[in-house]
């Protein structure tokens, strides 16, 4: 399935560098000790901008919702329809969500409540993206 290729900027570069090293980093505020995603120049919780750093997370989560895209309008994805779009809640902080097509899971078969693990998929030479796959024992 064709994927969009990320274009890192100064703020997101540490995240994408980690992804390309097969690691998942989340922003971390040392003032309020909260994780945050998506990437932002200041803390969503306490508004501090100077206290943000990065923390590696385990890359485990749970499928909390899923739909199937049958009639999407993104040209490069139309040939792949139908496909899953799942919401993944991160184990380290359930308020942080990622979206995934759940590679290896058939459309309409996304197991809500199943445990998932991050994997890294190549979308272009030298560029990976995080994806999420259902843990084998959950299938």
Domains and CATH numbers, the chain: 9-57 (no CATH), 59-139 (2.40.50)
Of the chain, the end-to-end C-alpha distance in Å amounts to 22
Q: Would you tell me how many other CB atoms lie within 10 Å of the CB of residue 109?
A: 12
User: Got the DSSP string for 28-54?
Assistant: EETTTTEEE-S--SS-TTT--STTEEE
Residues 6+ apart with CB under 8 A from 62: 88, 89, 91, 113, 114, 115, 116
What per-residue confidence (pLDDT) applies to 75?
Answer: 84
Kindly state the tokens that stand for 6.
Answer: 């990320």
Residues for the chain: how many in total? 139
Digit-coded pLDDT (tens) for 27-75: 999 999 999 999 999 999 999 999 999 999 999 999 999 999 999 888 8
Q: Give mean pLDDT, residues 115-127.
A: 96
What per-residue confidence (pLDDT) applies to 37?
Answer: 98
pLDDT beyond 80 at 121 = yes
pLDDT band at 136 (very low <50, low <70, confident <90, very high): confident
Which alpha helices (H) appear in 40-131, and where do they start and end? none
Residues 6+ apart with CB under 8 A from 22: 120, 128
pLDDT beyond 60 at 139 = no
Digit-coded pLDDT (tens) for 69-105: 999 888 888 888 999 999 999 999 999 999 999 999 9
């Amino acid at each position: 399935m064709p994927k969009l290729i990320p274009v890192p900027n100064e703020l997101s570069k540490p995240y994408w560098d980690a992804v390309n090293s097969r690691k998942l980093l989340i922003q971390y505020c040392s003032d309020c000790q909260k994780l945050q995603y998506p990437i932002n120049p200041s803390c969503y919780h306490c508004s501090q901008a100077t206290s943000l750093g990065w923390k590696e997370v385990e890359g485990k989560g749970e499928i909390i919702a899923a739909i199937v895209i049958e009639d999407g309008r993104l040209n490069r994805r139309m040939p792949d329809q139908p496909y899953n779009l799942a919401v993944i809640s991160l184990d380290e902080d359930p308020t942080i969500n990622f979206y995934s097509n759940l590679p290896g899971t058939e459309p309409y078969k996304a197991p809500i409540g199943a445990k998932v693990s991050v994997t890294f998929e190549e979308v272009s030479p030298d560029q990976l993206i995080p994806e999420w796959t259902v843990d084998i024992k959950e299938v």
